[in-house]
Amino acid sequence: MVNSITVVVYGADKPCASCLHAPSSAETFEWIRAAIARKFPEELIQVEYVDIESPPEDEDRATFAERVLADEFFYPVVRIGEKVVGEGNPRLKTIFAELEGLGARVNASSTNDFSIKQ
């Protein structure tokens, strides 16, 4: 078990111009949070959302939100620590690989593809 990992999803209510047909930032945040909870139920992993149009007072998050607003990244952007692990249409495989690299252990009963077992 790792001490604590924070995954931050940066996004906005309006869709990114390049991501019009992708899920909203809020939907992406909920999807990532649920997937991480299933895959790593025993780990202390927090998933937080930052609205880039009204960022929190935290200087690091506010500065990064400004970078997203300046079109340096497609949103939603997923960040673990200082590393961007997804943007636009983030991939769970990439996010999970980063979490495992930081020491998070996968639940033995979870599957990588989240397919329904019958």
Side chain identity at residue 47, one-letter code: V
Side chain identity at residue 103, one-letter code: G
Residue-wise pLDDT for 48-75, tens only, equals: 999 999 988 999 999 999 999 999 999 9
Closest by CA to 91, choosing from 32, 51, 50, is: 32
Burial of 113 (0-12, 13-18, 19+ CB in 10 A): exposed
Query: Residue 117, by phi and psi: left (phi above 0), alpha (psi -120 to 50) or beta?
Result: beta
Residue-wise pLDDT for 7-54, tens only, equals: 999 999 876 666 667 788 999 999 999 999 999 998 999 999 999 999
